[in-house]
A = this chain, B = another copy of it.
Amino acid sequence: MTTASVDAVADQDRKGPGRPRSARADEAIIEAVLELLSAGQSADALSIEAVAATAGVGKATIYRRWPNKEALLIDAVTTMKGPIPEPAGVSVRDDLVTLLAGMRTKRMHRYGKVTACLLPELVKSEEMHKVYQAGVVEPRRDVMRGVLRRGVESGELRADLDVELTLLMLSGPAIVQNMLRWNPAVPDEGFAEHLVDAVLRGARA
């Protein structure tokens, strides 16, 4: 995008006289990104033009807030994921169910579709992959890691448990099922409970 065209869009954007950059515009932009991704628009093909058109704002409004598409995508996914959950710390089983069930709310299918449409971008860009891992995946994985480690320390889980593999055994099935109902023979109802119970059957002390 040239400076000239940025200015042109910025002028257009100012048509609402003196309109401040509002939180509402930010929300509309984030919502537009999520709407486009969940409809099957892959992140690498997503254009700022399309986001601007869907959100009903000028491109300059987007560029004032986010320096590039990557930053906007990360913000959108982080917003979608919501705050990092804090497990109650009662039992390993209940904490894991709470964390996994959070991935399967009524917005579950949207989450999964957005994630699926983000993947090509992560394949294409090592930098984007790093940012996504560090900003979105790892903070949430670390909460679950804490639950498993506490279980090992308390003796609820086996002392020789492979914690990292167990994390993958909890998140992998949930991710592929959320994205695309990978195995349609596995029901949504009670999924988190069934998965946690099956994993813990092999993980308990």
Question: Which residues of A does B touch, CB under 8 Å?
Answer: 38-45, 113, 116-117, 119-125, 129, 133, 137, 141, 162, 164-169, 171-177, 179-180, 182-186, 194-195, 198-203
Contact = CB atoms under 8 A, between A and B. Distances in A.
Given A162-B194, A168-B177, 12 more contacts: A38-B123, A40-B125, A41-B120, A42-B45, A122-B180, A123-B180, A164-B185, A165-B173, A169-B172, A172-B174, A198-B202, A201-B203
Copies of this chain, whole number? 2
Contact of A40 (B121, B175, B182, B202): B121
A122 B116 CA distance: 9
A172 to B, nearest CB: 3
Contacts of A122: 116, 180
A124 B186 contact: no
